[in-house]
Structure 1
């Protein structure tokens, strides 16, 4: 794999990198956060304001960052982080092979080149190649053989230690993959119980040991599992499927195509059959297991039941949901298929020993099954877009070679292991080469240059202002840029994102999804309320560089005209927001009772402000405006724009609508656009330039259209990409900037003056001029935040279903907010007590043996 990556010029060998899809758009940012937290800011371990508007981090650590190999990333700063990712990737491939080879040497007859062949097939299984970019999942390949060995020891010798060492480690390293391994352990126990069965009394003892050892393993990992469970209840668990149907998700035989090398491409990432390629030798060996008379019939029957269950899991909806903890995967389907590959290779390793002599019936049955499978794939080859004919016939060739070798009568000659090695390793290597050639990657310069420039902007801002504030920007490489360069932002892409965050962002007109938010559509009002004190804007370059930038634009923020320029360089300009409110301030307690259900983001924002100021007039901050002129081209005339259904007159010709307005003052103007008015359905041009906008949104968004443009004609052209377009929630609004200034000035009068601040603790004084006031903050609400007011514990309240507030008494109040992960103390107690009991029990046994 190292040679292949060098050939592809992956960093550090060239100009490319391993960054692709989620590894480039998500995980690399968490790795940068890991470095910064360990080396520079330990206070962000449990909570970080780089996590969207702010969020707990235990769930993110447990899912993305607890692999021991990640510590190697500490030696790769800045743009060299991609080289660190390369290093841990190849190490995980190597350790997976080593782990499986160790298992074979310990409990099977395999050794030498035979063991290396099976270990390589395991390390380079189709699942590993397809999910190489999901780098945190690869640890499962390393620990699965060790846990399986522990289970075998538990069943056969009664030794507990290997099982209760490796399983808890896996539960800590990545609970998600560990969950799938735990399900597989139940299946493996069924097979081992049948394979090793002697008496029912012994079976009962084995069952008891398995159950108790599994509970102990869970208890040892409770310090991570319990706070992670709480995190999941706020995020992914809220998307759990409540109903399902007993049906096939795809025709079961389609999965057979995945046994051929090279049967993977980018289109297989969102959906497709399970990636279960293991090579022809391992596949034939697994089939021969079921006709091998050396193995007891009950063992083969139990193995058959396990295999059928695993096979049905790749196509039956409820079983698929079971493996994915009740949720349909978003991309990367059948994530559990690594256990299928392990199981099949394990069966093959049991069978293809040097003393294996299949009879004619066994050879005939296996050959017939393989021939029928190949015939099905060949007759349906055109439907498998990911499998090319030359790859299919190359796979047939390897099947023929493998069949000849497995039935070869003179296996004890020294050339036999060598031939097995050459054929087996060549096929899985070719599969890796073909699969990964189908994937494109982020160049090193694209990642490094962008990151270096953003880091420069962040450093200059933080050096000039040591306070607590958030930073917005009009460009992005990823939604995790705040993690990457260490600032408090408003965007994030995380599987552990609390559901409340995207819900709130959708209310205020910002793009959101189940696992992400992108603060690209802030208004003057939301920037103020969310403490967006600084903004970075990409420059429009001229001359030879016109139209190019290493800072890809993501929003059209005309309202930056209201902000003050505080610095700039060749690529970007830094702005300071004069309306930005502090992290906390005294506000009306009306915010505690605000229940706003409007779907209009402009009105939602105004109602939010009015509840804070206690001034009902602030509800009219935004007023709808009419367009001064509307021109239709190849589109039927419409008398009303909002909610109009635009239809092309001639479907073969371009169709567009141009809307114009001329501001009568220097106020800020915004457009709201429903989810149907998106870049997939139309292109947008504002004053002759393409409208920059993050393309994915599922709710109505609000777009900055003009500011300080008195007397200028603003033209927006919408060109249809399809035959029709629904202008859902399409409205032009004017923001009363004067009233906004008055409201923000009022809220700034009594700020929370912080004497202590970190990611998990804020302390300071705030003055309330009346008894009916609260300390309103832009800290996202969580059970982990604990408040004290004047030295006494105080209740925290949730505002707009998102933020934290504390009631105040009239006068000066000293308020402290500190964060501690829920259930962490309980988890530490359970893990600590269990560890002491296990160590004490082990010492007693050692003393008895002595």
Structure 2
């Protein structure tokens, strides 16, 4: 289908021309530049520019600042620390023990993440900074490789173009979401593979790069897949191939994409099931508005220094260099570019602009769900396409310009100005974000990590069986994952809604995707098997087992095992409308078959004044707790000492007030910004009978747990009557139960935990976990491999 080169060297020429070895005049000099030099510059320039920006921002090791801001601080750094604990499909460190494949594949499955295994966790902020620099450099490198092949040039303007792509505004703002940067790396490689398909070559590069991209960041891969479809239409529109060739291109494109999906199904199928059970299963934003922003605001986003923010209502980040914008405009007026190419490119830009502007199209790009902050997560493809258009203009410059004596000087000056502008924009954007979210001090992070790690290691050395831990001194919301202990606290897009609801009803702090340990009592600690607590506060009835810095390690002597035989009837649902104290008593009484009230009202006086409520509590020697979850509460003080603010969600929970002795009075002051009346303080403030609690818990210490790992739980249980074995394993899909080697049905108690019915006698009970969707994913992968082998055999026989 070859035809003579027409007025444009980028439209009316064979696809195969894009892949020929370059033998063209360069912009700076008349000789061909060695490819290794081009690639080295394409990697080093954006990487070094970003390093300079980080140094100017005072990031460690050049200062005490870090990249730990927003979700990078509260989520991602902890997930990278967790890589050392080798959790993939399941983790006991995530919200009592839940599916982990969604977290693993969404945040840290990139092969580049393995480099962080070389970084001690206390130095992880620096490790992630250098990993970000590496990814930005690789994005510049892969863009240069694509442009060199696509433009059929080895000119020194290629590193300038690739730097504009690697350091576009999207990178500056969304580098906090480090896992998405893999999409910028693989987009050019995937399109290079697609270009080879269009040139009539084999699809191995397209297939292989899709596979790696799916594994690295399946979420952004979906968006890249949409852009690949747009690119395919664009290129076919430019070339107008014969119908036979067009069908062959589409067939290779689809089969390669399906094969890549098939061999990676073991990851993305379980991941999709996990994430749709979390954030993607909830409505996050109303799409009643047809447009996301006034269209007239969009052009300003193409210039540097545009602050925007990261909220759902922020406009997109589109800047990728003034030189790119100017060259993209010249593209539509250049006589060297064919009219068909201009029309096709204009159509692509129109599709991308409409996708950003119209909320229904925007929703399609985001897997049909509005993102929670960090909007327009695909906007880097807009910058990439502008860079491609700019490259076509430069490659089409007449030979007279490329041999002009001042061309090297002009190009060098332009390159330096562009580099300065990109660095300035990156620094400005990061400063704007830091002004809103602030950043974690590097010294504080190291001190926090070392203090906590010392106590966690002490607990793990003292007790080697399975137990959970809690912490009231968290730096982020994923400390169990970071330090590798089984726990409650967790925050990610892949959360268990029922576990969060259950914890909220027990009086823990909980807000949408977050669940944290704050708000515990000895009742919840014991029932959930929390044996150790890291805290800078007092825990009544617990034994101090260690100390590090300002933290103490408290041991709960009454913590129960992972499962226990109930002495009474347990319900499948958890009643609503109870206070957390009533809910805890309800659970304990169902488990023990008694009506013992471990929580009870305490004698107190209530004085309501202007902007505050004073409670005078007359001590009995029992610990006193208060549930403070009312809107309008702003601060808590005990005996004149400020305890905490009550406005953050972390503090809307049960609070331990103290253990006043008989004859002592505890004065509690609750500041409020509105008038609150008719509050039942006798129900909201309760004392705990520790002796009654220990007696009740003694009835439940009736199992022997043998094995607990990420795929299997094995225990022995003895009962004299038909009974229910209650576990504190969240009842997610994927668990299968066996009693004495025979598969049995599992049940659910309180809408949350797995149960098994037992007959009288001593039984060996085993629970096995297989990630939901893993079997299907492996099956799809097997079918793909078998089909591929069959195709190879058929091709050989045909040959």
Scaled by the length of structure 2, the TM-score of the pair is 0.87
SS of corresponding position for 2:699: helix
Distance 1:28 1:789, change over 3 A: same
Aligned to 1:684: 636
SS of corresponding position for 1:562: coil
8 Å CA contact 2:469–2:487 kept in 1: the answer is yes
**Pairing 1:509–2:507 present:** yes
Match of 1:102 among 145, 165, 169: 145
8 Å CA contact 2:477–2:489 kept in 1: the answer is yes
**Pairing 1:571–2:523 present:** no
Between 1:17-26 and 1:566-575, the stretch displaced more is 566-575
Match of 1:346 among 388, 407, 428: 388
1: CA distance between counterparts of 2:674 and 2:603?
26
Query: What RMSD over aligned residues (CA atoms) do the two structures have, in Å?
Result: 2.8
Q: CA deviation at 1:604?
A: 2.0
8 Å CA contact 1:685–1:691 kept in 2: the answer is yes
Match of 1:435 among 414, 429, 435: 429
2: CA distance between counterparts of 1:729 and 1:251?
49
SS of corresponding position for 1:573: strand
Structure 2, unaligned runs of 5 or more: 1-49
Match of 2:204 among 157, 161, 165: 161
Distance 1:263 1:225, change over 3 A: same
8 Å CA contact 1:787–1:793 kept in 2: the answer is yes
Aligned to 1:15: 64
Match of 2:715 among 726, 742, 764: 764
**Pairing 1:613–2:592 present:** yes
SS of corresponding position for 2:422: helix
8 Å CA contact 1:117–1:420 kept in 2: the answer is no
Structure 1, unaligned runs of 5 or more: 38-43, 358-406, 540-557, 636-654
Q: CA deviation at 1:81?
A: 2.2
Match of 2:564 among 563, 576, 585: 585
2: CA distance between counterparts of 1:231 and 1:127?
27
Q: Deviations over 1:176-228 (max 9, x none)?
A: 11111112222222212211213344333333332222222211211111111
Distance 1:356 1:738, change over 3 A: farther
Q: Deviations over 1:421-466 (max 9, x none)?
A: 2232222122112222332432221111100000011111111111
**Pairing 1:824–2:780 present:** no
Q: CA deviation at 1:45?
A: 3.1
Q: CA deviation at 1:308?
A: 1.9
Q: CA deviation at 1:154?
A: 2.1
2: CA distance between counterparts of 1:416 and 1:848?
57
**Pairing 1:73–2:52 present:** no
SS of corresponding position for 2:407: coil
Aligned pair count? 744
1:35-434 alignment, distance < 5 Å? 35-37=84-86, 44-240=87-283, 244-264=287-307, 267-268=309-310, 271-355=313-397, 413-434=407-428
Q: Deviations over 1:214-266 (max 9, x none)?
A: 2222112111111112212322231146973252222122233322222237x
2: CA distance between counterparts of 1:626 and 1:292?
86
2: CA distance between counterparts of 1:781 and 1:78?
32
Aligned to 2:649: 697
Aligned to 2:15: none
Match of 1:734 among 675, 679, 687: 687
SS of corresponding position for 1:320: helix
**Pairing 1:6–2:55 present:** yes
Match of 1:671 among 626, 630, 633: 626
Match of 2:488 among 472, 487, 490: 490
Aligned to 2:615: 659
SS of corresponding position for 1:112: coil
2: CA distance between counterparts of 1:561 and 1:708?
11
8 Å CA contact 1:676–1:727 kept in 2: the answer is no
2: CA distance between counterparts of 1:843 and 1:77?
49
Q: CA deviation at 1:843?
A: 7.5
2: CA distance between counterparts of 1:697 and 1:188?
45
Q: CA deviation at 1:114?
A: 0.8
1: CA distance between counterparts of 2:498 and 2:226?
31
2: CA distance between counterparts of 1:74 and 1:595?
42
2: CA distance between counterparts of 1:454 and 1:32?
14
Distance 1:328 1:696, change over 3 A: farther
Distance 1:708 1:836, change over 3 A: farther
SS of corresponding position for 2:494: coil
1: CA distance between counterparts of 2:120 and 2:707?
29
Distance 1:3 1:569, change over 3 A: closer
Distance 1:140 1:833, change over 3 A: same
8 Å CA contact 2:660–2:666 kept in 1: the answer is no
8 Å CA contact 1:500–1:802 kept in 2: the answer is yes
8 Å CA contact 1:676–1:726 kept in 2: the answer is no
